[in-house]
Amino acid sequence: MLDAIAKGAAAQDESVDLQAEFEASNIDEVMDKLDRELVGLKPIKTRIREIAALLLVDRLRRKFGLTSGAPTLHMNFTGNPGTGKTTVALRMAEILHRLGYVREGHMVAVTRDDLVGQYVGHTAPKTREVIKRAMGGVLFIDEAYYLYKPENERDYGQESIEILLQCMENNRDDLVVILAGYKNKMDRFFDSNPGMRSRIAHHLDFPDYGVSELKSIAEIMLAEQNYRLSEAAAKALEEYLPIRMRLPHFSNARSVRNGLDRARLRQANRLFASRDRALTKTDLITIEESDIRGSRVFAEGKLEGEPETKAR
C-alpha cells in the first residue's frame, strides 16, 4: 500500500517541458508560413493557435495517462471568396499531422459534384470514395450548402450528408471535415441539418480585406513573381483597389491576383512595343503606373450601375 502511494506521489512530481514539446512539433513553422501567406486575419490565426495549443497539451496529458476523448475538430469556415479559407485549411492539415492527430496531413478539396450522384445508387460510392481519399487528413467541402436541396425531391444530396455525418462521428481521430461557404447560406444549411451543426466544434468567420491589406497582398504576390511597383504605380493601385471593391463580383485576394495578372500583360505589351531598345532588369521587374491605370476598372468605376465586364 505504501509503495503504491509513493509511486503515485512520484508520478505527481513528474514534469514535461512544454517549450521543448512545442519546438519538437515544428508547428511554429506552419504558423510562420501562415503569417507570410495571409495578411491580417488575426482572429482566425488566434483560433488556429488555440487549437494547436489544445492538441499539444492533450498530447502531454497522455504521457501522464490522463486520457480523454478525442477532441472534436470539425470546422465551418464562412466568408466571401478570396479571404483565405482554403489556405488556412491546408495549414490546419499540416498542424494536425505534426501533432499526431491525423496520419497523413493532406487535404482533399471537393464540391457537391464530387460527392453527389445523379441517379439511384451513385451517391454512396462517390461519397465513400472521397472520404477514403481524405482519411488521415482534412476533407474540405467548398460551398457545402449545395449538398442540401430540399426543393428537389429527387436530389441525392441528403444521402451524402448522412454518410458524412456517420464518418465525422466515427472517425474523429483520423479525419477532420471543414465545411466552407457564404455565412448566410451556411447558417441556413445548419438550420436544415441540426445533426451537422452538432458535429461542428469550430465556426470561423473570415472577414473581407481592407484597402491597406489588399495592397499588402498585392505587393506579396508581385514579390513572389519577382515584380515590383514603381512609386507612381503604387499610388495608382491605391486608387484602383477601392474602386474595384465597389464593382460587382469582387473576390478579395482573387480579384487582386486577377488585376495583377492583367497589369503584367499590359507591362509585357508595353515592353514589346519598345523592343527597339535594350531592356534592363529594372524594366523587366517594374510595373509602371500605366500598367495599373490601363485597367477598365477606372472607367467603369465612374459609371454607376454599369455591369462588370469579364475581362479585368
DSSP string covering 6-75: HHHHHHHH----HHHHHHHHTHHHHHHHHHHH----HHHHHHHHHHHHHHHHHHHHHHTT---PPPP--E
pLDDT along the chain (312 residues), means of 10: 49 66 76 87 90 84 74 92 93 90 92 90 92 96 91 82 93 92 95 91 94 95 96 96 93 95 96 87 95 91 52 44
Count CA atoms within 13 Å of residue 98 on its CB side.
21
Would you state the pLDDT for residue 3? 56
Whole-model pTM above 0.85? no
| Identity of residue 32 | D
Q: What is the phi/psi pair of residue 306, to 5°? A: -75, 135
Q: What is the phi/psi pair of residue 215, to 5°? A: -65, -40
Under a CB-based contact definition with an 8 Å cutoff, are residues 55 and 92 in contact?
no
Q: What is the phi/psi pair of residue 175, to 5°? A: -155, 130
- Rounded Cα distance, 149 and 189, in Å: 10
Among all chains, which residue has been given the C-alpha cell 505587393? 219
Q: What is the phi/psi pair of residue 115, to 5°? A: -110, -35
Residues 211-300, CATH architecture? Orthogonal Bundle (1.10)
- Rounded Cα distance, 269 and 296, in Å: 16
Listed in sequence order, the DSSP H helices in 135-252 are 157-170, 183-192, 194-199, 211-224, 231-246
CA pseudo-torsion sign 138, 96, 35, 74: positive
Exposure letters 57-86 (e unless 16+ CB within 10 A, then b): ebeeeeeeeeeeeeeebbbbbbbbbbbbbb
Q: What is the phi/psi pair of residue 77, to 5°? A: -105, 120
Domain ranges within the chain, ordered by starting residue: 13-206, 211-300
Measuring CA to CA, how many Å separate 312 from each of 19, 199, 220? 49, 41, 20
CA angle 32, 34, 40 (to 5 degrees): 110
| Identity of residue 22 | F
Would you state the pLDDT for residue 60? 81
Domain pair 13-206 / 211-300, same fold: no
Would you state the pLDDT for residue 310? 44
- Is residue 99 helix, strand or coil? coil
User: For the purposes of burial, counting CB atoms within 10 Å of the CB of 240, is it exposed (0-12), middle (13-18) or buried (19 or more)?
Assistant: buried
Residues 13-206, CATH architecture? 3-Layer(aba) Sandwich (3.40)
Enumerate residues 6+ apart whose C-beta is below 8 A from 225.
264
Would you state the pLDDT for residue 13? 58
